[in-house]
Amino acid sequence: MTPELAASESAEQVLAFLAEAGDDAVSGEAISDKLGLTRAAVWKHVEALRGQGYRIDAVATRGYRLVAVPDRLRALELRPLLNTHDVGQVLHCFESIGSTNDQAKALADDGAGHGEVVVAERQTDGRGRRGRSWVMAPGRNVAFSVILRPASLPTSRAPELTLVASLAVCDALRRAGVEAGIKWPNDILVHGRKIAGILTELAAEPDQVHWVVVGVGVNVNARSEDFPPELRDQATSVLLERGQPAPRALFLAACLTLFEEWYDRHAEEGFDPIREAWTARSVTLGREVVVTLDGREVVGQAEALDPSGALLVRTAAGVERITSGDVALLRPRC
Ligand code: BTN
């Protein structure tokens, strides 16, 4: 390893240690003990990180505190913030790309491994569900796609992974101080406005999933004028909800870390805990809904998520099991 590479690895480790401490300060001594560095080397790495735009305060008698990270989505910023074993350990970061999902699918076809992630500052051809486009202001939001190779998930259960992802995004938003909830199957809403969407695509045979790509777009620091006029009253962002911008690298790292936690839980314990957690975060259940599917409308009350992730809607004619479609929420819950 070259001295430059070793120095950048140590700087990443210092950064990871500070990031893990969150709002707490960490003493120079604790960092040097943990990483096997001299105090002078720790100071040098802190200075180098400051030079790259990290704000690290020196707190009297208590040590160093990470206050702000540069607003860039690159491996250097993201890797130290991740607390994962697979997801995001290989990162493909782009300034501009057509669609992170398309890139992830091409990489998956070329043999990319489980957990590899594609991230872009800007998408020129971002895609949403049902052939819609996904438009986002460059450098303000978060768009990423995770390549998954589920070891033993039957193809029929692959749609559960969309709900797994929705839990992670919802939880990351709540941690960022936003009251997010999930609209079936994969929209994340805040006070009725959309803040994030998920597009899941896969290559599979009836008895084997080759790969799944879960693509996520979150409006993080978008301003009202960043949305097309026709979407302004339907969309929102973390910035608009809490009145101050969120550090995107920290937010994305939280999404990826939480995604891996929920993914592992799903792999180990099956769909039941996912269903329970999803139900607790749902803004769909208990509401009057209109589901548009295959050119017809189903009107009724969204009652429950069934054991396979389908939405059960009670209509005048009985209970309909919805496996795909667009859901519009009618009356708010009393
Ligand atoms: C939807 O709500 O319709 C789903 C939107 C999904 C958008 C994300 S952004 C990252 C990834 N790349 C894409 O082209 N689409 C997904």
Q: Identify the band that residue 332 occupies on the pLDDT scale cut at 50, 70 and 90.
A: low
Tell me if 252 sits within 8 A of 144, measured CB to CB: yes
Transcribe 209-225 into DSSP letters. Answer: EEEEEEEEEE-SS--GG
* Residue 261: Cβ within 10 Å count: 17
Average pLDDT of the residues of the chain: 93
Calculate how far, in angstroms, residue 74's C-alpha sits from the geometric centre of ligand 1: 19
Which of 96, 144, 199, 218 to mutate to test ligand 1, by most ligand atoms within 8 A of the CB atom? 199
Q: Identify the band that residue 233 occupies on the pLDDT scale cut at 50, 70 and 90.
A: very high
Looking at the structure, give the CATH architecture of the domain made up of residues 3-68. Answer: Orthogonal Bundle (1.10)
| Per-residue model confidence as pLDDT tens digits over 20-40 | 787 789 999 999 999 999 999
pLDDT at residue 61, rounded to an integer: 84
Q: Considering only CA atoms, which of 184, 108, 186, 104 is closest in space to residue 144?
A: 104
On the question of pLDDT at 235 being above 70, the answer is yes
- The matching CATH number, chosen from 3.30.43.10, 3.90.228.20, 3.30.930.10, 1.10.357.10, for 75-281 is 3.30.930.10
Calculate how far, in angstroms, residue 47's C-alpha sits from the geometric centre of ligand 1: 38
Torsion sign, CA atoms 111, 84, 216, 162: positive
- Angle at the Cα of 229 from the Cα atoms of 225 and 234, rounded to 5 degrees: 95
Q: Identify the band that residue 3 occupies on the pLDDT scale cut at 50, 70 and 90.
A: low
| Closest residue by CA, ligand 1 atom 3 | 128
Largest CA distance in the chain: 74
pLDDT at residue 22, rounded to an integer: 76
Q: So where are the chain's domains?
A: 3-68, 75-281, 288-329
Transcribe 229-257 into DSSP letters. Answer: GGGTTTB--HHHHHSS---HHHHHHHHHH
For ligand 1, what atom is nearest to the CA of residue 98?
14
With a Cβ cut-off of 6 Å, ligand 1 is lined by: 99-101, 123, 126-129, 132, 134, 143, 145, 187, 197-199, 215-217
Q: CATH assignment of 288-329?
A: 2.30.30.100
Q: Identify the band that residue 5 occupies on the pLDDT scale cut at 50, 70 and 90.
A: low
Which of 97, 119, 130, 134 to mutate to test ligand 1, by most ligand atoms within 8 A of the CB atom? 134
Which of 166, 216, 219, 248 to mutate to test ligand 1, by most ligand atoms within 8 A of the CB atom? 216
On the question of pLDDT at 46 being above 60, the answer is yes
Element (H, E) at 265: helix 248-269
| Per-residue model confidence as pLDDT tens digits over 54-105 | 999 998 888 999 998 888 999 988 988 898 999 999 999 999 999 999 999 9
56 vs 68: CA distance, rounded Å: 7
Calculate how far, in angstroms, residue 325's C-alpha sits from the geometric centre of ligand 1: 16
Q: Report pTM.
A: 0.86
Q: Identify the band that residue 331 occupies on the pLDDT scale cut at 50, 70 and 90.
A: low
Calculate how far, in angstroms, residue 326's C-alpha sits from the geometric centre of ligand 1: 15
On the question of pLDDT at 7 being above 70, the answer is no
| Closest residue by CA, ligand 1 atom 11 | 215
167 vs 266: CA distance, rounded Å: 11
Comparison of pLDDT for 197 and 4, the residue scoring more: 197
